[in-house]
Amino acid sequence: MKKLLFIIGVLLFSVGALYAQNGTNTSPINGAVIQFENTVHDYGDVPLNGNGECEFEFTNTGNEPLILSRPTSSCGCTVPSWPKQPILPGEKEKIKVTYNTKKAGPINKTVTVTSNDKNGTKVVLRIKGRVLEEAKSNDFTIDKNTSGAPFNNQH
């Protein structure tokens, strides 16, 4: 009888250990968890002095309020704005990022988000694309007294 109880006890312990190992434990997440819909925004081609704004939407999937610390950008040309109030469990919010498009060239910048996420990881948001050079003015005009073919004004 003692052997049978011992064997049943070992089996129950083993099943419990396997149950916990398989991740089927249904205990709630204790803490805030930040989950972004996307962590990369591709502007594509943006005109010089064009709209450099984008948003990164996230949700607090944990069971405690989420608090964001000041997000930091990789340079002064990228400015993030974020919610200052705690984000309650299940709530969605946005981090807005504005990139200064006054200079032509490639865009490859990051914004690092620090929060009280229970995993303690920082999330890196990335923006990419290209600011196009300003179109050069055309020095050609159309003479209404001719066939309409353009000619160079610079004589």
**Per-residue pLDDT, 116:** 95
- The pLDDT of 16-29, averaged and rounded, is 53
pLDDT(155) > 50: no
Q: Residues near 145 by Cβ (< 8 Å), separated by ≥ 6?
A: none
Tokens of 119: 């995993």
Which of the residue ranges 26-30, 31-35, 68-72, 106-110 would you say has the lowest mean pLDDT?
Answer: 26-30
Q: So what's the architecture of 34-131 in CATH? A: Sandwich (2.60)
Q: What are phi and psi of 93, to 5 degrees?
A: -145, 180
Q: Between these two residues, 77 and 140, which has the higher pLDDT value?
A: 77
In this predicted model, what pLDDT tens digit does every residue of 97-138 receive, in sequence order?
Answer: 999 999 999 999 999 999 999 998 899 999 999 999 976 555
Determine the Cα angle at 142 with ends 139 and 147, to 5°: 140
What's the mean per-residue pLDDT of the chain? 82
What type of residue is 9?
G
